[in-house]
Amino acid sequence: MKGIVMEKNNNKVIIMTNDGEFLEVSERKNVQIGEEIIINNNMNKNNIMKRFIATAAILVLVLTGTFGAYGYCTPYGYVNVDINPSVEITYNLFNRVIDIKGLNDDGNKIVEKVENYKNKSIDSIVNEIVDKAIEDKYIESENENTVLVTITEDGKKIDDKKIFSSVKKHINETETESELLVIKNDKKSLESAREKDLSPGRMALINKALKTNKESSFEEISKKSVKEIVSIIKGSRKREKKEFKNKKKQAKNEKKNKKDKLDKERKADKEDKKNNKQNKDTNKKDKEKVNSKKDKEWKANKQNIKVNKNKNNKTKDEDREKINSKKDSEWKANKQNNNGNKNTKEKVDKSQDNKNKKNKSNDKKDNKNNGNKNKK
């Protein structure tokens, strides 16, 4: 007999059989809630039911349908597999598959080949769908393939990492070049996709492709395969990445150019300061040279002035001496002349006196003679 593990309590495990009965068995190693196990058909069901019913909390859960046949058979979430075939897997509260259906003709062909899917784990059914897609050449080893898995959950978090790991490992074992994408979805998006007869994963890819490629229409992209839509998104991302890289490179170049410009300006300023300092030093040296030259010229002029002064003084002295000597000579000559003239004058005067005396004597003689004459 098979049953689903409903609860682990102390060293006991509560099992729900396919008939909806509850049994309590000894705990088994590595048994998880929701897992299907084989149990002994000869167990005492009456005692187990009494023990189960005696637990008030579990009774409430049974009445509310959380545990029991209702909880087991009620859809709790959906996992969609899109290759080109689109298949929807319905799972229950215990993450066990309760139904699968195709969302297109290719999906229906795959579903017809998947047998005994009920009560199995989600990842095992996804792996079977991948196997059937490989058998029907939807996935080919010589081509690049894309497997899209979309998880729509309600409240309880499904272990998407576990599903990804299990399916990825299985794909690698098939030795096909297949890219696995696992995305999460909500019920609102699921209903919106169903209105357009699309899987939620395909709908999400189309919307993403429309955002990245605004030139395309919904009708145009919806006709493409998952691989083609992913290629459009990747191409857009590649362009965006390239544009971002170019913008980043441009910004880096602008920053570098700005830095180079600043460095150049700083270098020019530094060079100008250096040149100004050199010019200042040169001007200072030139000024010092000029001042030194002026000092030398001034000293030379002073020396020349002094020399000229001395020379002039000497010349003046010489001229004075010459003049004085000349004057002396003239004076002496004059004196000599004067003396000569005096002597001459004296001689003249003496001669004149002598003459006058002679004339006087003559006059006396004349007078005497005249007197004598008169007397006669």
Give the pLDDT confidence score for residue 111 in this predicted structure: 95
Looking at residue 2, what is its pLDDT?
73
Task: Output the pLDDT for position 149.
Answer: 93
Q: Are strands 2-9 and 36-38 parallel, antiparallel or unpaired?
A: antiparallel
User: Does residue 21 contact residue 49 with C-beta atoms inside 8 Å?
Assistant: yes
Q: Which residues of the chain, if any, have pLDDT below 70?
A: 7-10, 18-21, 27-29, 32-34, 41-71, 154-157, 317, 338-356, 358-360, 362-376
What pLDDT, on the 0 to 100 scale, is given for residue 144? Answer: 81
Q: Where are the alpha helices (DSSP H) in the chain?
A: 45-54, 56-64, 69-73, 105-113, 122-135, 160-173, 187-195, 200-212, 218-222, 226-375
Pairing of strands 86-91, 77-82: antiparallel
What residues contact residue 40 under an 8 Å CB cut-off, 6+ apart?
1, 25
